[in-house]
């Protein structure tokens, strides 16, 4: 008997089709993962179950929770069910909690709003569930405010709120996407434990197929608002029917083969670099404290080498990137490109800057929305002593657009006319246009859907062959770094804790932290490949 | 285009038109006295009636629009011309002593409402329209500086600005090339709102005698003159008041409409 | 919390100090010598000198500045050039009209604006909201002194519910005083209430789009419960800023409104002083107004910390 049964669910928002004839069911104690790329309608399916859809939503079909059709419930009846019969956990723990209320009040609110028990018992229950999710009151009193907790801890509070009344169904919408890999592993373990302990059904929405394969009893794959394939995890992984499912799994574990680098010759030399940030003064007359974001980092990047830099958020990898780019001054050590310092005095050294470019993470924030593509990608010409003009400039722009798989006709368009993947191609074109010696990829594929990510990785390999690229690839995603780099460095709390050939580091990590990272990362089963 | 935008544009251009036409034509000479024909209620010859000296109210309203618009426009100009560069500079050097000085200076100006500035200036230099312009203009500086800095700060965090820095562009060049065009919409909207506040402030100042001096007609001055006669000639107070309301309402609607129209989020959705 | 308050307090002191220098400097550049202005053109040089000494005009600029500031700290604002009475006495009398008027108006505008703003936000896009938005749009456009004249025309001249002007004084009982301040307070409050209601509404609407409001709904709170329990307090943060700003507009506005109702407040005092070139009175009143604005903004800063725990823990 199923706990949740979604039958032929269709959804339109202001007339636009969002979901088409979606069917899925969850039994008590079962974990069902709904997966797909952005725009597949997976989150809307979750919100439809909660009946928290945006204005203008029209639903059709049936969503049965224990034989009650949720679509037929009044708003008051739904309020009584939300939080009590169905709990929900969201993606962004940083913003999911009310900043002006204590965590105790927010957990107790779930209990009190449903008048489940009087206040003193509610308090005890809140302490119990917070302890259960790993926030015991002796270390995390109920009087804490959200801003006093880390992202992972906040997500635990959100989970505590969702399970305070032991709902029969728990919905988790990308619950770990915003978290670091080690925190992600802990939260996933917590969710798994709760399902077993309480016999809840868990509807898990995630784009991460490794998480899906790791967690789910059954998988539902969606695309463009439709379920393309569903089935028990082990069976589906072995016998994928739909080409889209196969494509998705292949793209997630996409492997590329880099061309063999030439003779090692030092290009970027980083020696004993230290970067301190001033902290706000504790008292009016105290000397301000320091936070050491980069702590005595040294490494050499050879010409033609593809070097990876991995680490969790706050480890200092972004700060190091900015220091290499000469955007921030360092407090100690030396950064040289081709033997010349990136900063001469307090000014950036233009002769050095000319030799490096960067590709950022956010395909939406990387471009001035008011400029056309031609102007956007030719911005680095500013670094040249004699920037090309007229037809030469046009030719260079056209050549670059072609090189990254776009058309020269695109140069007259504005950036909002492109998809996320196309924008990332334009970002690469901008980085390549002055033929820099070194390119920094700062989480350059992290915001992309897996199929687009696979295409961009292929593009990088093509460009490596055509232009002999040397790059530093900064990412939190181990699986990507594993395939796109020759050598990798692991960074933690401002220090490089491990540095070695990529295959060696991944197959035989030396440092305990590297081992933890690799163990925590959910792995994609090889099965998809076997079938394909 | 929303209803707000159209209605606001119509009302504002009506007032602007009246002000412009007054340079070449008014039904009567706005300064011509006609004591026997004083205090006429609105009629076919004098559309808005006449005042206690028999002057034609319609002509005075037209010329008064000129005063109001001129004062408010120049005041907004002062606010923008000084406030926007200050805001851009503060954002470009966020956290530095320059930012600190600019922002503390702004806080300080906020402690001097334009009326207080006008009182000070008048006490020292005597009354006049220039005082009103300076007083309102000074108060506008921190308004524009803050709004520019706020918007610019979030832009400086964006990756396209980092990309421009990697391309070797300096803070000044980035501010002009990348920041300013992206805050322009916001400034246009705020400018409209400050313009309408300026109209209100000018009316208030000239009402208490700190603004334009006679014989220059101004709406606030007309209201001050009407005050003792409001019980037997209410049109003297009603008409200039309505003129102010129409102008301010028009500008506010225009500002709201522009905000919706220029909002890039809405525009992208439309594209 | 204490550190935060202390930091704001120091910033308040600095603002006051700079403001006093600015005001003193502006008054200093005023042409003419108050002593010769008071005694006329034919005054003897030694009489002038004696008067200058009496008024404290004979020292260096720096010395006079410190005399002025030092005096104000102990409640001595100097002697009026025209009336030869202590300025502090003149201000104290008038303050009992202007300050109650501003506070009365501030209370009125807050009491009106909060429910109206919350009502409109809760009914976004529905007829109730559209009516409120239309009415407030009009309210913002109305100059308060004109509105005051219309109130006089309707409620004093036609209906005779209130006096057209003048102030009965507090000696004839509290309610008599309140009664004579009611029309002026309404005239001041309504246009400000329109602004405040719009800010409250838009601030609430911003909050309604936050993730934690969705979390609250997922817990089982109804739209209304979520709005009241999680929305209002968060929405207050920007609203407080506007209330602080409004206080300075209300003070300035009350100076103008006093003209409409012939109220013997600070406004009347300052305009008489301007026409009599009684600069010491102007200087003191302006300093007092600026002091009030800066102090209110200090209180707003403290209120922030009460509303937002993130500020409390930051130093």
Q: Tell me: the pLDDT tens digits for A4-55?
A: 999 999 999 988 899 999 999 999 999 999 999 888 999 999 999 999 998 8
Whole-number pLDDT of residue A532: 37
Residue B78 sits at φ, ψ, to 5 deg, of: -60, -45
Give the model confidence (pLDDT) of C219-265 as tens digits. Answer: 999 988 999 999 988 888 888 888 888 888 888 888 889 888 888 88
- 3-state SS of chain A: helix, strand, coil percent to 5? 40, 25, 35
Whole-number pLDDT of residue A282: 58
Residue range C90-102: mean pLDDT, rounded: 88
Asked if C3 and A113 come within 8 Å (Cβ–Cβ), the reply is no
Q: Which one of B106, B108, B111 makes the best mutation probe of the C interface by having the most chain C beta carbons within 10 Å? A: B111
B158 touching chain A per CB within 8 A: yes
- Among residues A170, A158, A159, the alpha carbon closest in space to that of A28 is found at A170
- Three-state secondary structure readout of A47-71: HHHHCCCCCCEEEEEEEEECCEEHH
Whole-prediction pTM value? 0.85
Q: How far apart are CA A245 and CA A251, in angstroms?
A: 10
CB-defined contacts B:C, below 8 A = 124
B170 touching chain A per CB within 8 A: no
More confident residue, C112 or A524: C112
CA of A152 vs chain C CAs: smallest distance (Å): 16
**Using CB atoms, which residue from B162, B163, B181 is nearest to A430?**
B163
Q: How far apart are CA A101 and CA C221, in angstroms?
A: 15
- Among residues B266, B269, B245, the alpha carbon closest in space to that of B185 is found at B266
Whole-number pLDDT of residue B3: 84
**Using CB atoms, which residue from C214, C221, C314 is nearest to A90?**
C214
Under DSSP, is residue A311 helix (H, G, I), strand (E, B) or coil?
A: coil
Strand order through the sheet with A68-69: A16-26, A4-13, A57-65, A68-69
**Band of pLDDT at residue C80, cut at 50, 70 and 90:** confident
Asked if the model's pLDDT at residue B202 lies above 60, the reply is: yes
Whole-number pLDDT of residue B12: 93
Alpha helix stretches (DSSP H) within A19-177: 42-50, 75-81, 103-113, 119-132, 151-163
More confident residue, C32 or A135: A135
Asked if the model's pLDDT at residue C315 lies above 50, the reply is: no
Q: How far apart are CA A169 and CA A24, in angstroms?
A: 14
**Using CB atoms, which residue from C153, C259, C282 is nearest to B234?**
C153
Asked if the model's pLDDT at residue C45 lies above 90, the reply is: no
CA of B169 vs chain C CAs: smallest distance (Å): 35
Distances (CA, A) of A105 to A137, C127, C148: 13, 35, 47
Asked if C153 and B231 come within 8 Å (Cβ–Cβ), the reply is yes
Residue range C75-86: mean pLDDT, rounded: 80
Asked if C267 and B208 come within 8 Å (Cβ–Cβ), the reply is yes
Cβ proximity of A404 and A429 under 8 Å: yes
Asked if B252 and C22 come within 8 Å (Cβ–Cβ), the reply is no
Asked if A145 and C315 come within 8 Å (Cβ–Cβ), the reply is no
Assess whether the previous peptide bond of B107 is cis (omega < 30° from 0). no
Q: Which tokens go with B12?
A: 């504002």
Whole-number pLDDT of residue A429: 94
Asked if the model's pLDDT at residue B269 lies above 50, the reply is: no
- Among residues C213, C290, C138, A418, the alpha carbon closest in space to that of B113 is found at C290
Interface of C with A (CB under 8 A): 3, 6-7, 10, 210-212, 214-223, 225, 229-230, 233-234, 307-310, 313-315
Whole-number pLDDT of residue A364: 82
Give the model confidence (pLDDT) of B122-174 as tens digits. Answer: 878 878 888 889 989 998 999 999 999 999 998 998 889 989 998 888 899 99
Chain B residue numbers with beta carbons less than 8 Å from the beta carbon of C297 are 107, 110-111
Whole-number pLDDT of residue A9: 95
Residues of chain A scoring pLDDT < 50 = 528-532
**Core vs surface per residue A22-53: b (16+ CB within 10 A) or e:** bebbbebebbbbbbbbeebbbbbbbbbbbbeb
Q: Which one of C18, C146, C294 makes the best mutation probe of the B interface by having the most chain B beta carbons within 10 Å? A: C146
Whole-number pLDDT of residue A49: 94
Task: Identify the chains in contact with A, defined as 3+ C-beta pairs within 8 A.
Answer: B, C
Residue A239 sits at φ, ψ, to 5 deg, of: -125, 70
Give the whole-number percent of chain C exceeding pLDDT 90. Answer: 27
Cβ proximity of A292 and A494 under 8 Å: yes
Chain C residue numbers with beta carbons less than 8 Å from the beta carbon of A92 are 211
Whole-number pLDDT of residue B39: 82
Q: How far apart are CA C160 and CA A478, in angstroms?
A: 82
Q: How far apart are CA A129 and CA A165, in angstroms?
A: 9
Alpha helix stretches (DSSP H) within A404-501: 420-432, 450-467, 478-484
Whole-number pLDDT of residue A369: 87
Asked if B223 and C15 come within 8 Å (Cβ–Cβ), the reply is no
**Using CB atoms, which residue from C30, C270, C277 is nearest to B119?**
C270
Whole-number pLDDT of residue C86: 85
Whole-number pLDDT of residue C248: 80
CA of B248 vs chain C CAs: smallest distance (Å): 5
- Among residues B245, B235, B246, B241, the alpha carbon closest in space to that of B56 is found at B235
Distances (CA, A) of A435 to A385, A410, A428, A430, A439: 14, 21, 11, 10, 9
Asked if the model's pLDDT at residue C52 lies above 80, the reply is: no
Cβ proximity of B67 and B136 under 8 Å: no
In C, minimum Cα distance to B196 occurs at: C141
In A, minimum Cα distance to C309 occurs at: A100
Asked if B108 and C145 come within 8 Å (Cβ–Cβ), the reply is no
DSSP state of C79: B
CA of A113 vs chain C CAs: smallest distance (Å): 7
More confident residue, C161 or A192: A192
Whole-number pLDDT of residue A398: 94
Q: How far apart are CA C163 and CA B206, in angstroms?
A: 25
Instruction: Tell me the angle at which helices C279-307 and C2-28 cross, rounded to the nearest 10 degrees.
Output: 160
| Rounded (10°) CA dihedral B36, B37, B41, B43 | 150
Q: Which residues does A388 contact at the CB level (< 8 Å), separation at least 6?
A: A381, A396
């Amino acid at each position: 008997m199923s706990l949740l049964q979604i039958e032929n669910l269709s959804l339109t928002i202001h007339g636009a089709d969002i979901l088409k004839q979606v069917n899925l069911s969850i039994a008590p104690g079962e974990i069902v993962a709904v997966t797909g790329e952005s725009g597949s309608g997976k989150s809307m399916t979750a919100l439809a179950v909660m009946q928290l859809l945006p204005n203008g939503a029209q639903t059709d079909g049936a969503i049965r929770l224990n034989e009650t059709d949720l679509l037929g419930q009044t708003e008051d009846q739904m309020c009584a069910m939300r939080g009590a019969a169905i709990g929900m956990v969201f993606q962004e723990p940083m913003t999911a909690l009310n900043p002006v209320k204590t965590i105790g009040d927010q957990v107790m609110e779930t209990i009190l709003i449903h008048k489940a028990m009087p206040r003193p018992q509610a308090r005890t229950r809140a302490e119990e569930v917070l302890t259960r999710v790993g926030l015991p009151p002796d270390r995390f009193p109920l009087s804490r405010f959200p801003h006093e907790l880390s992202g992972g801890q906040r997500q635990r509070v959100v989970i505590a709120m969702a399970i305070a009344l032991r709902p029969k169904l728990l919905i988790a919408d990308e619950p770990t996407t915003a978290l670091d890999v080690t925190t992600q592993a802990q939260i996933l373990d917590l969710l798994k434990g709760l399902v077993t302990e309480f016999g809840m059904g868990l509807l898990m929405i995630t784009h991460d197929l490794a998480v899906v394969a790791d967690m789910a009893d059954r998988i539902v794959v969606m695309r463009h608002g439709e379920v393309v394939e569903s089935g028990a995890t082990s069976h589906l992984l072995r016998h994928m029917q739909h080409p889209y499912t196969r494509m998705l799994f292949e793209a997630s574990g996409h492997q590329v083969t880099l061309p063999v680098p030439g003779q090692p010759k030092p290009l970027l030399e980083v020696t004993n670099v230290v970067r301190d940030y001033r902290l706000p003064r504790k008292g009016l007359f105290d000397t301000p404290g320091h936070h050491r974001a980069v702590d005595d980092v040294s490494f050499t990047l050879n010409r033609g080498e593809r070097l990876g830099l991995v680490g969790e958020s706050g480890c200092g990898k972004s700060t190091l990137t900015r220091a290499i780019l000469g955007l921030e001054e360092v407090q100690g050590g030396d950064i040289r490109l081709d033997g010349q310092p990136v900063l001469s005095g307090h000014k950036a050294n233009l002769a050095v800057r000319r030799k490096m470019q960067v590709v950022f993470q956010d395909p939406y924030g990387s471009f001035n929305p008011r400029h056309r593509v031609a102007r956007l990608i030719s911005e680095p010409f500013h670094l040249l002593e004699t920037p090309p003009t007229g037809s030469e400039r046009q030719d260079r722009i056209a050549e670059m657009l072609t090189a990254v798989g776009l058309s020269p006709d695109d140069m007259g368009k504005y950036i909002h006319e492109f998809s996320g993947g196309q924008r990332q191609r334009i970002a690469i074109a901008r980085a390549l246009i002055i033929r820099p010696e070194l390119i920094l990829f700062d989480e350059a594929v992290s915001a992309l859907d897996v199929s687009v990510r696979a295409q961009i990785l292929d593009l990088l390999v093509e460009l490596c062959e055509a232009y002999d690229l040397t790059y530093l690839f900064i990412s939190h995603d181990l699986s990507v770094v594993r395939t796109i780099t020759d050598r990798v460095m692991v960074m933690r709390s401002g220090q490089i804790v491990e540095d070695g050939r990529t295959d060696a580091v991944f197959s035989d990590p030396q440092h305990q932290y590297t081992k933890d990272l690799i163990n925590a990362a959910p792995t994609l089963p090889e099965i998809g490949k076997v079938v394909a | 285009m929303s209803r707000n935008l159209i209605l606001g544009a119509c009302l504002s251009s009506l007032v602007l038109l009246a002000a412009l036409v007054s340079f070449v034509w008014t039904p009567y000479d706005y300064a011509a006295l006609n004591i026997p024909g004083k205090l006429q209620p609105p009629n076919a010859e004098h559309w808005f009636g006449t005042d206690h000296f028999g002057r034609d109210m319609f002509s005075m309203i037209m010329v008064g629009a000129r005063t109001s618009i001129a004062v408010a426009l120049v005041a907004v100009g002062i606010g923008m011309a000084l406030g926007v560069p200050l805001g851009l500079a503060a954002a470009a050097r966020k956290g530095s002593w320059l930012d600190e000085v600019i922002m503390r200076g702004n806080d300080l100006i906020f402690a001097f409402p334009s009326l207080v500035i006008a009182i000070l200036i008048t006490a020292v230099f005597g009354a006049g329209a220039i005082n009103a312009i300076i007083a309102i203009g000074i108060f506008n500086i921190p308004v524009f500086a803050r709004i520019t800095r706020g918007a610019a700060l979030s832009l400086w965090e964006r990756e396209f600005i980092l990309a421009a820095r990697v391309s070797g562009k300096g803070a000044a060049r980035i501010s002009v090339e990348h920041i300013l065009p992206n805050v322009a919409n916001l400034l246009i909207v705020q400018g409209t709102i400050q313009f309408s506040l300026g109209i209100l402030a000018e009316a208030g100042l000239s009402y208490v005698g700190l603004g334009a001096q006679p014989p220059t007609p101004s709406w606030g001055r007309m209201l001050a003159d009407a005050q003792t006669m409001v019980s037997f000639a209410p049109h003297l107070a009603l008409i200039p008041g309505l003129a102010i309301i129409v102008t301010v309402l028009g500008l506010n609607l225009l500002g709201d409409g522009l905000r919706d129209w220029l909002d890039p989020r809405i525009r992208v959705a439309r594209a | 919390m204490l550190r935060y308050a202390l930091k704001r307090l120091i910033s308040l002191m600095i603002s006051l100090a700079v403001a006093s220098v600015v005001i003193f400097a502006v008054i200093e550049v005023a042409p003419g010598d108050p002593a010769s202005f008071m005694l006329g053109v034919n005054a003897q040089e030694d009489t002038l000198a004696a008067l200058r000494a009496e008024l404290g005009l004979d020292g260096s600029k720096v010395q006079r500045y410190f005399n002025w500031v030092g005096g104000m700290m102990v409640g001595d604002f100097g002697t009026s050039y025209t009336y030869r009475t202590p300025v502090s006495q003149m201000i104290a009398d008038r303050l009992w009209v202007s300050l109650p008027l501003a506070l009365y108006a501030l209370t009125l505008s807050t009491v009106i604006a909060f429910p109206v703003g919350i009502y409109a936000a809760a009914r976004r896009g529905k007829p109730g909201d559209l009516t409120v938005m239309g009415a407030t749009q009009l309210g913002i456009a109305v100059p308060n002194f004109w509105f005051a004249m219309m109130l006089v025309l309707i409620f004093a001249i036609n209906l005779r519910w209130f006096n057209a002007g003048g102030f009965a004084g507090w000696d004839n009982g509290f309610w008599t005083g309140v009664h004579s301040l009611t029309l002026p307070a309404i005239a001041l409050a309504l246009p400000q209430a329109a602004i405040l209601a719009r800010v409250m509404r838009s601030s609430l609407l911003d909050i309604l789009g936050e993730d934690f409001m969705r979390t609250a709904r997922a817990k089982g709170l109804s739209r209304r419960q979520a709005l009241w329990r999680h929305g209002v307090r968060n929405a207050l943060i920007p609203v407080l800023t506007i209330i602080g700003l409004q206080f300075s507009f209300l003070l300035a506005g009350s100076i103008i409104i006093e003209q409409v109702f012939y109220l013997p407040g600070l406004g009347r005092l300052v305009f008489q002083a301007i026409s009599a070139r009684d600069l010491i009175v102007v200087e003191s009143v302006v300093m007092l107004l600026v002091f009030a604005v800066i102090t209110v903004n200090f209180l707003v800063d403290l209120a922030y910390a009460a509303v937002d725990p993130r500020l409390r823990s930051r130093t």
